[in-house]
Amino acid sequence: MESLENNWGIIGHQWVVDFLSAQLSAGRVGHAYLFTGPDQVGKETLARRFAQAMNCHAESPPCGMCRTCDLMGREAHPDLIVLRPDGRSHKIEAIRELQQMLILRPYEARYRVALIVDMQSATPQAADALLKTLEEPPSASRLLLTVDEAQNLLSTVVSRCQVVPLRPVSAKDIAAGLSDRCDLPPDDINLIARLANGRPGWAIQAVTDPSMLTARVEIFEGIAAALKGDRAARFEYSEKMSRDSNRDLILQSWLSFWRDVLLWTEGNQAWMTNADRKQDIQTVTYAVPAETARRAVEVVRKTIQMLAQNANARLSIDLMMLNMPYL
């Protein structure tokens, strides 16, 4: 399988690599960049590679082998500051401490780089505090922010950054990238690439942590049992699911399951995500009409949206299960 992993060690996102490399070559590195996209799509990895590239002295940075690339890749370089949420949020105290560090000249690198992960979790006070640095950045400092969606940040923060939107990576590109990193059989690589849903980070994690796929098998066995169960069994399932630490993953599995049912009914089996669950999907396809499957997709979507807005988990999932067809 042809490799689609570029010289930055990134699976996919070639246009982003080309864009950032061009800015480096032209000496037009901006003071702040905002990487947007879903979880595990590659935002943090790209930002870290960019930090390496802007400080690497190789002919084609990042070389990945020099002292700077090595230390920044391990987040051990004195001129790379990585700020992750403290608990559920970035707090104003952490931003103020970061600002004091950015005022100082770099120890040894060309730029002192601050990588702020999941900026959407910043408190309003923290976001306001960061504005001062974005408006008047120290000349030898660069800020790299990651966020799920730009709309979840203050417009004043977004407007002071170069926005780099990351799109989901195709299953073909993910499979090609994985083939360079592991010795799994092609069928296993293709399955993981489909399941990744455009997220190279998830695919790499699934390769290195087999328990993820084991947990997925258990999730789909639970889905099949719930669809065959009576109302009491569904309420029992709902109660357990509402307390499960993998609740978000379970809901996404429900969503992908019903999407695959619709694809099967429309004759688009080649586009299915859960190709290894064909038997379950085929069984449901023969038992429910396409319109019922379409409603199930919308029910799961609405449940995910409600939980994102902090709705009561047990009540939301109870309602979802009541609206699922019986097999």
Report the CATH number at residue 216: 1.20.272
Note whether 42 and 158 are same-domain residues: yes
pTM over 0.75: yes
Note whether 233 and 138 are same-domain residues: no
CB 13 within 8 A of CB 46: yes
Over the chain (327 residues), the average pLDDT of each successive run of 10 is: 63 94 94 96 96 94 94 96 94 96 94 97 95 92 96 94 96 93 90 91 92 90 94 95 92 94 86 87 92 95 91 95 93
pLDDT, residue 80, reads 98
Match 């949206």 to its residue by tokens: 305
In a domain, 175, yes or no: no
pLDDT, tens digit, for every residue of 105-127?
999 999 999 999 999 999 999 99
The CATH number of residue 151's host domain is: 3.40.50.300
pLDDT, residue 76, reads 96
H or E element in which residue 32 lies:
strand 32-36
Note whether 251 and 153 are same-domain residues: no
CB 317 within 8 A of CB 303: yes
pLDDT, residue 27, reads 92
* Total domains present in the chain: 2
Match 């120890």 to its residue by tokens: 107
Nearest residue to 324 (alpha-carbon basis) of 240, 230, 241, 244: 230
Tokens found for residue 107:
């120890």
